[in-house]
Amino acid sequence: MTSSAAWDPARTGKRVVFWRHGRTEWNRAGRFQGQQDIALDPSGAHQAVEAAAVLRHLHPDVVISSDLGRALATAQALGEAAGKPVGTDRRLRETYAGAWEGMLFADIAAQFPEEQAGWAAGSGDVRAGGGESRVDVGRRVAEAVTDAADALAPGGTLVVVSHGGAIRAGICALLGLPTDSWTVISGVSNCHWSVLEERDTSGGGVRWNLAQHNVGLDSVPSGPLEG
C-alpha cells in the first residue's frame, strides 16, 4: 500500500479520521472538561452538522465515538449524513482529570502551578488533577483505534469521534513518538479533524502516517470531494 492524499479515491490503505466534538459551553468558558458529560452548545451542534456534510464525502465505513454526550452527538450528525450507525467505545473518552475537572484553566495554573506546568509542557508522567497521564490516555485510545481499524476491510475508512486531549495523545501513541516529543503535535480545535493513513509495514516500522492534522471547514481542499 502507498501513502496518498487524504482525499484521494485511489488510496489503497486503511484510513483513520480523528474528529473532535463541537463546542460546548465549558469550551467557550475555558474549563477543563475531562470526563464530565457536558453537552454541545448551540454553536457546537451547528459545527457538527456543517462538518458532517463535508466528512460524509470521505465515505466512512465505520463511525465510532466516545460515549460522552458531546462526542456522541457530534458523531450522530455524521451518522445521519452518511447513513451509518454509530458505535461507542469508552476508551475514546477524554482524559480523566480528577480535581481539575470543571475548573477554569487559569485557576488550575494558579492553584497547581507545578503540575500544570508539567502538563502544559507535555510531560507523559504528570497526572491531570491526580487522574490520568497523557501516556495512559494515548495507550487506551490507540488500543481502541487499532481494534476498530483491524476489523476494517482493506482500504476502509474509520471515523473516530473523540476529544482534544485524547485525540492528540492517541495520534502520538499510534505514530510511536517518544513521549517527551508529544508537544510537536498541536491540539485539535472543536469540530476539526486529523487523518492517519496506513502505510506498508512489510519492512517493519510504524503502521500509520499523519496525512492531515487539525483540518476544519476553512481548510478543506478546493475542488470536487467525490471521486
3-state secondary structure the chain: CCCCCCCCCCCCCCEEEEEECCCEHHHHHCECCCCCCCCECHHHHHHHHHHHHHHHHHCCCEEEECCCHHHHHHHHHHHHHHCCCEEECHHHCCCCCHHHCCCEHHHHHHHCHHHHHHHHCCCCCCCHHHCCCHHHHHHHHHHHHHHHHHCCCCCCEEEEEECHHHHHHHHHHHCCCCHHHHHHCCCCCCCCEEEEEECCCCCCCCCEEEEEEEECHHHCCCCCCCC
Q: Is 94 a catalytic residue?
A: yes
Cell (9 digits) for 65? 465515538
Residue 223: partners with Cβ closer than 8 Å, 6 or more residues away = none
Task: Please pick, among 46, 50, 59, 94, the residue that the annotation labels catalytic.
Answer: 94
Cell (9 digits) for 214? 487539525
Q: Is 192 a catalytic residue?
A: no
Active site residues: 21, 94
